Amino acid sequence: MPFLAVVVVALSIAGGAKPAPAVHALPDCTDTAWMCGAVHDPPSVAGSNTAIAFDSTGIAWISFRDQDAQALMVARYVGEGGTCTNADWTCTVIDDPPGHDVGFETDIAFDADGTSWVSYQDTTTDDLKVAHSVAPGTGYGCVPARADWVCEAVDTTRQVGGYTAIGIEQELPLVTYWDSGQKDLRWARPSAASGSTCDQAGWNCGIVDSGSVGAFANDIAVDSTGRAWVAYRYSGSGTGPKAAKLVVAAHVGNGGTGCGKGSPEWSCTVITKTGNVGLDTGIAFDRDDNAWVHFWNNNNLNLARLGGTGTRCALASGWECTTIHDEADSVGEYGGIAFDATGTAWIAYWGRTAKRAYVAHYVGSASGNGCGPGGSSDWACSTLDASPDVGAFWMGIATRPAGTWGPGGPWVSYFDRQRGALKIAILKT
């Protein structure tokens, strides 16, 4: 897709080590406050199961699945001369073992040393896999062999690795994922201690919560103290004790309340229960270190946030519960949440009926619009991209770290199912 103009010139990365790549203008999205375009649009189908993160220098990286090759791929923004079909990006096959279907439900994060970590599932063997970048010449485990990446099958117990999420806690990656055999939400992280509770040496694994939990997506975020929180769903039915619930677990290290048969390293709070509550969760922290959790209830986009002054959640009086976007399109699926440099919350999500990508941002003071007859006036909702069949199978959202080059607004990665392409949307700032 052709570019229209250069809107941000190359700036120097903090420290003056090398020039940053330019951000080129793309065509307007349906919401003209944004620009949209393809990152990678090969003859094959690629771009689902996507997640996005920025490294410490402000460079965007996207993890995604090549459906035809059944491989894990990563796209990195370079500004020009890249190998994706959009030459502003370089595309790399990270893991493509013969006879295996990998790259499902990816997530990506960066540690303080600038190492990229990607979690994903091998659905052929139902294993949790984690890949991370390393110094050239020290890579191993990826197929085909890569000199600058390590790929590991971290947990191969039963049927694991679904709905992965990854965050950096106390300088180490922490992965949460679903055990579809035991119906547990599990966790894994590297450990320098002798012995290993994972199948991969050097990793420890355990249970966050048990009892039909963790399916239909979980998400992880880290608060200002470096503690990881996980938002997820307890799958249930009816309105009684076994009803579906939205749950948040905090990783306290030891002395926690435990969650089901989970480890006392965790303390859990049940937030609310109503119908299909808690599907497709996302979590992020505001400037006051309060958790915001969005979720889909099979009909609309909802939010639970710690604190607030609005309607209390049904099972946690310290939390506020709000319907953000409510209309006939059944909106709120496959979403993600991030805060921009001004502290504004942004949520990207999918509409199941119209098969469109949407975006909502918090405006407060009842000054919002576009969120449907039952939606919140504290939010502004819009159709991000009304192209045919876009936004399904996960949308990633992230904002560039403060003090780095380029626009500081959110970037959204998503899948164009009709074209079989990975797309990007960038807020104009």
Match 């309607």 to its residue by tokens: 311
Band (pLDDT 50/70/90 cuts) for residue 1 is: very low
First and final CA of the chain: distance in angstroms?
Answer: 21
d(CA 167, CA 188): 11
Question: Using one digit for the tens of pLDDT, what is the confidence trace for 337-390?
Answer: 999 989 999 999 999 999 999 999 999 988 999 999 999 999 999 999 999 999
Q: CATH top-level class for 30-427?
A: mainly beta
Q: What is the mean pLDDT of residues 91-103?
A: 97
Tabulate helix, strand, coil % of the chain (nearest 5): 0, 50, 50
Beta bridge partners of 176: 165, 187
DSSP 8-class letter at 12: B
315-337 mean pLDDT:
94
265-281 tens-digit pLDDT? 999 999 999 778 888 99
Q: What percent of the chain has pLDDT over 70?
A: 94
3-state secondary structure of 285: strand
Higher pLDDT, 242 or 38: 38
Average pLDDT over residues 107-135: 97
The pLDDT score that the predictor gives to residue 217 is 85
Reduced to 3 states, what is the DSSP secondary structure of residue 297?
coil
A 10 A CB-CB count for 311 gives 11
Q: Which residue has the higher pLDDT, 4 or 114?
A: 114
Nearest to 54 by CA among 429, 404, 416: 404
- pLDDT, residue 406, reads 65
Kindly indicate the confidence band of residue 229, based on its pLDDT and cuts at 50, 70 and 90.
Answer: very high
Count CA atoms closer than 13 A to 199's CA, side-chain side. 13
Phi then psi dihedrals of residue 174, to 5 deg: -125, 125
DSSP bridge pairs for 268: 249
Q: Would you call 335 helix, strand, or coil by DSSP?
A: strand
